[in-house]
Structure 1
Amino acid sequence: MRFIRAVWLWAGSGAVIEGSAALFWQRRSDRPLTDVTVSCGRNLRPPRNPNWPIRVRRRVVNEFWTVRWNRIVTVRTEYAIAQLLPTAGPALLDDAVRRRWVTVDQVAEVHRAVSSRGSVVRGTILAAAGSGAISEAERILHRSLRAAGIRGWRANAAVNLGSGRRIGDVVFEEIRLLVEIDGFAFHTDHERFEDDRRRQNEFTLAGWTVLRFTWWTLNQEPDRVVRDIQSTLSRLRDR
């Protein structure tokens, strides 16, 4: 914490702490910092000291996107999250919304106002967060399974278990393989969360193998998802 303050003081008038350091200063993150990013309107050269990992951006952050927090100036929480989304992925947004630090609309406002590297990835995450991430992930999975020539599955299929009928996202009933897709946690209330866990336990107790993938993994690495499913299918058919 002292190091962040020292960087802000070193950068001088108009300095703004950004990104992960801003979240750390606001106690929105407890991850170890690899560097501190500061913006200012002057051309500053960081000291060449490995114990002082400073990144300087020569730019002026609009005052609207800044806040004075515990005696230093940082970007607002939603701004910092928007900056980090392309590299941190959807888990950062999911966690921030669940903890009620920000709303999706607030981060989307930053996205619309500020053009920066990673805008396409950030836009994809925000679009999914505001609507049907699961639906899109299901479509990606179905297309990927068909393209790989994988057959014997049904989508959103009812399965008779000892406890009653349960719906699976993708069901390979003959070999008892269930593939489930997880979206944003903040889309799920506590009752739904508990029911999802009970449902998975019921499938497992009935002798099913359950694979779970996030919509983000399906979006970014569909080939890996298909390989994992193919490997599981081979193992289950050989036993």
Structure 2
Amino acid sequence: MGPVPDCAGFMDLTSYLRYAGSVARTGTLLQAGFSARSIRNAVAAGEVARLRHGIVAQAGAAPDLVAAVLANGLLSCVSATTHHGLWRLHAPERLHLLCQHGSAAGAVIHRGSVVPPEFPRPVAGLTDTLLHALRCLPPVEAAVMVESALLQGRTTLGYLRQRLPGNRNGAARGILDLVDGTADSAIEVVARLLFRSQGIYTQTQVHLPGIGIVDFLLEGFLIVEIDGSTHLERAQVKKDRGRNNASTLAGYAVLRYGYQDVVYNPQRIVDEVWQVLRGRVIR
């Protein structure tokens, strides 16, 4: 499970427990230097609740963290994304747990670990989280997570490849080929893979004189912008309008799409992109 920070830097048990995710095994608290008596006193005072023998939690503890501790596991794969600050496309329908032994009803269980947890919270280390995702999730969803970690400078493609040896990990290694670290958001990863899957020459984050940086330039003349929520703000709408006009005046075609379009209606995007490209592709 990795080293557990001791209680020296914490005034009391409740502060430490909050640091640990507001739920913990009593063994974790004992390892951190708190006494069994201090745990009993905190329960008696109503500062923490005993969920069952050996597990205590504070009010408001995140349900996924509570479920992980109750299952004697660690959140991993897509279930660990929010705790690691990673992008994800969809919230998981089932909990994904790293459990070295046993199982949990209704959960997706991952085995094998190459790094210790990064903190006392019941969350698998970043490397384990990414490796589990590469072996478990659809390629685009796993690529989104890896690209997020790559952009944060928290891993490298070479490091992950080294930890995916042999034929059984061939598909997982193949997903790493989809990651290039050029996206500004999860949805841009999806759009990039969509365009390239169609055999369209796709450049990302291209600076065009008089226009600025565009999300995508397809076949050298079609600009595709992926709009997030900030593009609905008045100032951004005005800026986007000016960029669209500048793009048209410079001879580019422009298409704009949002999250819902990319995730839930990709075929419409493909059809519209090809409608613009058809007859003008010179390669």
TM-score computed with the length of structure 2 as normaliser: 0.42
Larger relative CO (CA 8 A, sep 6+): 1 or 2?
A: 1
Query: Structure 1 length normalisation: TM-score?
Result: 0.48
